[in-house]
């Protein structure tokens, strides 16, 4: 069964810290992987998309990596800020058009 | 920046009533999706739509659900006879192709009482 898991479920860090969010998936034959941000009660904002042929993608302070063989992706956030506080979702697309989501990691960055 | 828009943002309905959730996908996108998120749970896929027909649907998307693209801009999700367990945030999404970024709307909160 194709599943996506994110650990930890919650993370609290002081402002300025660099941090890594983890995503793991069963079945390494993915098509692509997308990271999203979700603020409470709000929609999903796409952060980064990594195709299966890519190893990483960068956008500003965010860097996402992909290791298909081990079934893992990480989202690295540099110099975290209180405004980064949100839930971060990892979603994987396999051989169909749909995304399968992890349960998310809720990040709190303390001033 | 173009965005997916959804209406209503929040709807309360009585059990057994029909509900229509509306979405305007990004204008040059060809693939359309509905997902839902029950409070505290994962975001779940419901249905994908391409070329005026359903391309894939999940087990959740039973006969009570239907989708339609009535004109060149709107994409709707209809729930024929709502149940308490249909209470969730419903997200519309769109993409140019299956290999590109999927963009989500702000969601429609549906509360069935």
- Interface size A-B, in CB pairs within 8 Å, comes to 55
Q: What is the dihedral of CA A100, A102, A104, A105, to 10 degrees?
A: -140
pLDDT given for residue B18 in this prediction: 98
CA-based nearest residue to B25, from B63, B77, B89: B77
Cα dihedral B60, A40, A36, B71, rounded to 10, equals 60
Across the interface, whether the CB atoms of A31 and B102 are under 8 A apart is answered no
Query: Would you call A93 an interface residue with chain B, using a CB distance cutoff of 8 Å?
Result: yes
pLDDT band at B79 (very low <50, low <70, confident <90, very high): very high
Give contacts of A89 with chain B, Cβ < 8 Å: 43
pLDDT at position B74: 94
Block residue for tokens 């149940």? B83
3-class state of residue A11 by DSSP: strand
In this complex, is the C-beta atom of B97 within 8 Å of any C-beta atom belonging to chain A? no
For A102, name the nearest residue in chain B, comparing CA atoms only. Answer: B42
- The per-residue pLDDT for range B20-59, each reduced to its tens digit, is 999 999 999 999 999 999 999 999 999 999 999 999 999 9
- Nearest by CB to residue B56, choosing from A46, A97, A101, is A97
- Does the structure show a pLDDT above 90 at B72? no
Least Cα distance to A76 among A17, A10, A7 occurs for A17
Determine the Cα–Cα distance for residues B66 and B86; give it in Å rounded to an integer: 14
State whether residue B100 sits within 8 Å of chain A by CB: yes
Which of chain A's residues have a Cβ under 8 Å away from the Cβ of B33? 97-98
- Does residue A100 have a pLDDT over 80? yes
- Provide the token pair at B27: 């204008």
Minimum CA–CA partner of B88 in chain A: A41
Q: CA nearest B34: which of A13, A4, A99?
A: A99
Find out whether B99 and A51 touch, Cβ atoms under 8 Å.
yes
Output the pLDDT for position B108.
98
Q: CB contact, 8 Å: A6 with chain B?
A: no
Q: Are A89 and A44 in contact (CB under 8 A)?
A: yes
Mind giving me the DSSP string for B42-101? -EEEEEEEETTEEEEE-TT--TTEEEE--SSS-EEEEESS--GGG-EEEEEEEESSTTSP
pLDDT tens-digit series, residues B8-24? 999 999 999 999 999 99
Q: Do residue B48 and residue A31 have CB atoms under 8 angstroms apart?
A: no
CB B20 within 8 A of CB B74: no
Work out the average pLDDT over A97-103: 94
Cα–Cα dist A59/A46, whole Å:
11
């Amino acid at each position: 069964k194709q599943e996506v898991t994110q650990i930890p479920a919650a993370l609290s860090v002081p402002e300025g810290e660099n941090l890594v969010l983890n995503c793991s998936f069963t079945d390494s034959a993915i098509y692509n992987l997308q990271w999203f941000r979700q603020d409470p009660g709000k929609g999903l904002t796409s952060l980064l998309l990594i195709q299966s042929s890519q190893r990483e993608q960068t956008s500003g302070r965010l860097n996402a990596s992909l290791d298909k063989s081990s079934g893992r992706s990480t989202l690295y956030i540099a110099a975290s800020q209180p405004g980064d506080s949100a839930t971060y979702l990892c979603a994987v697309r396999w051989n169909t058009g749909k995304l399968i989501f992890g349960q998310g990691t809720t990040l709190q960055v303390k001033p | 920046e173009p965005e997916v828009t959804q209406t209503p943002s929040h709807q309360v309905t009585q059990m057994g009533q029909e509900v229509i959730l509306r979405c305007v996908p990004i204008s040059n996108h060809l693939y359309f999706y509905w997902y839902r998120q029950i409070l505290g749970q994962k975001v779940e896929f419901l249905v994908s739509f391409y070329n005026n027909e359903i391309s894939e649907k999940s087990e959740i998307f039973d006969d009570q659900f239907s989708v339609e693209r009535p004109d060149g801009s709107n994409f709707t999700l209809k729930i024929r006879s709502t149940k308490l367990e249909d209470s969730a945030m419903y997200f519309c999404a769109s993409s140019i192709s299956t290999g590109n970024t999927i963009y989500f709307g702000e969601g429609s909160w549906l509360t069935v009482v």
